[in-house]
Chain A
């Protein structure tokens, strides 16, 4: 039988029983759409978290004071060290081979005054390196100047949100603001890039690290960000950093060094598992659709007993009769899957247009997987009734007497 004739033959059947056809299409479409939607959301959540954390880049290490265990559970994000990491330590680190740049980081809340307004704003003390390391671009003006770490400077860079709150529509660049009890001139406004690593740069004031030390009256760094030179081994660099700090701190290993991988690993694992499990749940609905197809095919076989007998009398072999029923089920589920794919993507696109910062992408394995499951389940479940039809003895079938062969 020619494929075109087979398709036309099946189409005749499906159109004649349009309600039945519609129901199966719906069941299959819902199953496929559910798989795409749930994996799309799961994968979106994973990417969202991944993007947030990978802003730092693969080759960035984070040094924090105090010895913390990083295996098992989330790495520590706060902690007081037994011994401070000083600016001298930072200088020493930046001279290490294999380290491209080092940015110190002090974080605190400070009262910021402009004219009559004042706000409590998160204030970062760091160096020019920080801007390169976090790939911050400037909306206006320039980044912090490249001055020695120990030198305080009366300049600052503010986030767009800070600018809006403190200056409104007025010009901010070149104006003076007071942070704590010191005055700083605004030399730059950073580009708004949304939140990253739980810190919203747009809501912060960035000062030279020595100035921040004076404001917060501290010597120790909150964090030190280190960028490994391209091509250098991250593992080796990591050892070197630990060794150096141990040497400088009188033989005591009182620092913790975390890598991007350690941070991401935990999240990726959890979210990957989540995506997989929701996909599995959605796949169950596809199996349900398959069982529906089996029932419908069984009914179809018993309703069309006489027709099967006739087709056999006219020269259809058992294999052809089986092919007729399986191809009918396959066409149904292929159409259903197509509708499901279209509506699944449409819903994801709708979600994306409502919430643009959330990346929605259907992983290829989910798309191909749902298609394979839909078609596979249809074939599998139609096989049994189709074989029953193929085995029917033509004589009995023609008389409409169905005996289980």
Chain B
């Protein structure tokens, strides 16, 4: 589904060049479940931003579902972010003044989906995620776990092909964290490709495919044996 070829990105910080991505090659199959780990500054967040079309590479190619992304303009990239990609952030990034329902329907509002259609889709999703009671609650009335579930609902309301999660449990206690991970894995089970960036090795190990990054390069790419994939340890 995703093909990265020789992707490069260099940041200039205080006169020093940092190779956040250094000629990176990566292929991701549809429906896969990946974790990306590595020390700070290894380029994991940059990789996430590239995959999410939030940032543009200096050179190299990015194909998403056979479509070349590097050549797209800002307007088209925004369209693809809206339709094919969902984001889950460590800090939830819910809008305080909007209630849970309004936060979840935001991606639909941005692309002008009519209110009636929005309503049925949001209701369905709230029901599924057990958030129906909280539809009218504002973020400050929700617990951390509930907020992250609202954020996940917002990420998948468009039924994206790719779900990108950046430290999704970083701000949560272990119980809520486990719930959130469970929910993400459940969504993956329905066919959404899931990529989680994390510092937590326990969480990283749960993924079928584990990437380890350092200095902008992939230094290891392993598959869990119990995933039943014979092609591990490439």
Contact = CB atoms under 8 A, between A and B. Distances in A.
A and B associate in one complex: yes
Interface of A: 1-2, 4-5, 9, 12-13, 16, 306-307, 309-320, 393-395, 398
B75 A9 contact: no
A314 B106 contact: yes
B109 A1 contact: yes
B216 interface: no
A306 B96 CA distance: 12
B87 A315 contact: no
A362 to B, nearest CB: 38
B109 A5 contact: yes
Interface residues of B, number: 28
A107 B106 CA distance: 83
A315 B83 contact: yes
Contact of B54 (A306, A320, A395): A395
B75 A319 contact: yes
B97 A316 contact: no
Nearest to B76: A317
A313 B55 contact: no
Given A2-B114, A4-B115, A306-B93, 9 more contacts: A5-B115, A16-B97, A312-B54, A312-B78, A313-B52, A314-B81, A319-B75, A320-B78, A394-B54
A315 B81 contact: yes
Contacts of A16: 97
8 contacts: A9-B109, A310-B95, A314-B87, A314-B154, A315-B83, A315-B110, A316-B110, A319-B75
Chain B CB count within 10 A is highest, among A2, A315, A317, for A315
B112 interface: yes
A395 B82 contact: no
A4 B74 CA distance: 25
A398 B82 CA distance: 16
B83 A313 contact: no
Contacts of B81: 312-315
Contacts of A318: 74-75, 78
B43 to A, nearest CB: 13
Chain A CB count within 10 A is highest, among B78, B111, B112, for B78
Given A314-B82, A314-B154, A315-B83, A398 B93 contact: yes
B33 interface: no
Given A315-B110, A320-B110, A12 B54 contact: no
Contacts of B93: 306-307, 309-310, 398
B107 interface: yes
A1 B110 contact: yes
Contacts of A394: 49, 54-55
A398 B89 contact: yes
Nearest to B111: A315
B98 interface: yes
A311 B54 CA distance: 11
Interface in B81-113: 81-83, 87, 89, 93, 95, 97-98, 106-107, 109-112
B88 to A, nearest CB: 10
Contacts of B87: 313-314
Contacts of B79: 315, 317
Interface in B23-82: 45, 49, 52, 54-55, 74-75, 78-79, 81-82
Contacts of B154: 314
